[in-house]
Amino acid sequence: MSAMSSEQAEQIIQLFLNRFIRKDYAAMLDLFDEDVIFEFPYVPNPSPKQLEGKTALQQHLQMLDKILAITSFTTPIVNVSADSPVFFAQFEGSGILLADGKTYEQQYISVVELRDDKIVRYQDYWNPLAMM
């Protein structure tokens, strides 16, 4: 395991958010390792708490497009873990819930682990009540 710079962490999360907003999922998925573990610790049942691999993440993004349109993210606050390939990002997202047109406002905390400049683990902490 090697440490990363704050600049590297900020660049990765900003690329992730920009590509997500543009719905450039192919480019977004390029940031991830083939065997990425993407976790949603607070998601309610029956939704999966963990996705394994880029294919599962791509399928999740396609499903998400049918229920939610995120239109903006705030500039993330990024903290890098000392002597490890992990960083933490805090940011907010805004959008629309497609089923009823309600406003979607969310606060996110992401824990991201890298290996060979690819995301191998992404923990996505968000409040599921914002989806209701």
What residues does each domain of the chain span?
A: 6-131
Taking only the tens place, the pLDDT of each residue in 44-76 is 888 899 999 999 999 999 999 999 999 999 999
Query: Rounded to an integer, what is the distance from CA 107 to the centroid of its chain?
Result: 12
Pairing of strands 77-80, 68-73: unpaired
Topology (CATH level 3) of domain 6-131: Nuclear Transport Factor 2; Chain: A, (3.10.450)
Contacts of 123 (CB under 8 A, 6+ apart): 39, 41, 110, 111, 112
Q: Name the pTM for this structure.
A: 0.94
Query: Would you place residue 130 in the very low, low, confident or very high pLDDT band (cuts 50, 70, 90)?
Result: confident
**Residue 120 above 90 pLDDT?**
yes
Reported as a single tens digit per residue, the pLDDT across 18-34 is: 999 999 999 999 999 99
